[in-house]
Amino acid sequence: MRRNTKRRIELVGIGLTGLLAALMLAFLVLDYLRAYPYASALYEQFRLAGLMLDSALGTNVFYHPFMWRSLATGVLVGIVAPLVGTYLVHREMALIGETLAHTAFAGVAIGLLFSSTTGWGGSLLLSALVVGILGALGVQWLAERTDTYGDVPIAIMLTGSFAVGTLIISYGRGLTGINIRGFLFGNLSVVTPAGARMMAVLSVLVVAVVLATYKQLLFITFDEQAARVARLDVTWYNTLLIVMTAVVVVGAMQILGVILVAAMLVVPVAAATQIAGSFRETLLLSILFGQLSIVGGFAIAISQSLPAGGSIVVVAIGFYLLAILASGRSAAAISTH
């Protein structure tokens, strides 16, 4: 009976998460098409709902489109980050998120320098995405072609990419007025319309890829050697997973910043492993914990005028500690479950 109740709560939570994600995607589509009459009318309904929300909560933020874009980006991050992170944590690759975040930071630095010297007006997130994916492929290449321990290529890429980013920022200081602090620690104002739309497209792609390759990714996660014996293209699926991680990291960097972005790949999954009974349940619960962390973090950030990234991570850690207390298991269960 208790198990059935738990299952129903999980399904309701996933259903509400899906509904919220659909609403946020709808807003981003309407935001893009608001120059057209019908889309404009529906778009104004979102703003009216925001005005009513402001009136009910005593705030003055939800009427503004930038807040809806930030919320939409956060909701999508709360889905795709734990989704990809579940595979990473069970493969003991939690550090890869931090590595690719630093690689994406180098991409931002390159984009800033290129923009300031050539007048290019493209999105910095685009340059971060390109460099992040190249960094992911680089980590994969190093891991397969060196005899060092598995985490050595990751550590080299982490420190090397951040070093390159800091050198470029220092070299180009004064050439641009963009505050790099927002990319380091996250900032709701960093979320541009183009950045939010990019996150929407990438999120849909990541979810679709995970659904299409769920069994293959599960196979290589728990028994890579058996997958090779079964003639599964393990290298391809490893590369696919690490590229999806880079994509998620770049999108989440808008809200959480380079310093904190890896937390959303790991902490909700760590919480889910404490109370889940299977990999599939871990996947679902990690998404729920991720979404609750996003919503709770935004609520704290808005009400107390605090940074959203730090608020989200603190809430996520709170859920992790509660999950440990509820399960009675040790924190070490994350690497063995």
Q: From the centroid of its chain, how far is CA 181?
A: 19
Average pLDDT over residues 1-25: 85
Q: Identify the pLDDT of residue 327.
A: 81
User: Dihedral, CA atoms, 119, 122, 124, 129, nearest 10 degrees?
Assistant: -130
Count the Cβ atoms, other than its own, within 10 Å of residue 42: 15
* Report field, pTM of the whole predicted structure over 0.85: yes
HSE at residue 5, side-chain half, CA atoms within 13 A, is 2
Could you report the per-residue pLDDT of 209-258, keeping only the tens digit for each?
999 999 999 999 888 888 888 888 888 898 899 899 999 998 888 888 77
Could you report the per-residue pLDDT of 307-328, keeping only the tens digit for each?
888 899 999 999 999 999 988 6
- Give CA–CA dist 165/181, Å, rounded: 13
Q: Which residues contact 244 (CB under 8 A, 6 or more apart)?
A: 84, 206, 209, 210
Q: Identify the pLDDT of residue 277.
A: 84
Range with lowest mean pLDDT among 172-176, 264-268, 304-308: 172-176
Q: Identify the pLDDT of residue 332.
A: 45
> Domains in the chain, ordered, with CATH?
2-32+64-335 (1.10.3470.10)
Count the Cβ atoms, other than its own, within 10 Å of residue 97: 24
Could you report the per-residue pLDDT of 52-87, keeping only the tens digit for each?
888 888 888 888 888 889 899 999 999 999 999 999
- pLDDT-derived band at 331 (thresholds 50, 70, 90) equals very low
Q: Identify the pLDDT of residue 34.
A: 87
Q: Could you please report the per-residue DSSP string of 251-317? A: HHHHHHHHHHTTHHHHHHHHHHHHH-SSHHHHHHHHHHHHHHHHHHHHHHHHHHT--HHHHHHHHHH
Amino acid identity for residue 329 in this structure: R
Amino acid identity for residue 39 in this structure: A
Amino acid identity for residue 57 in this structure: L
* Higher-pLDDT residue of 105, 6: 105
DSSP state of 82: H
- Give CA–CA dist 258/99, Å, rounded: 10
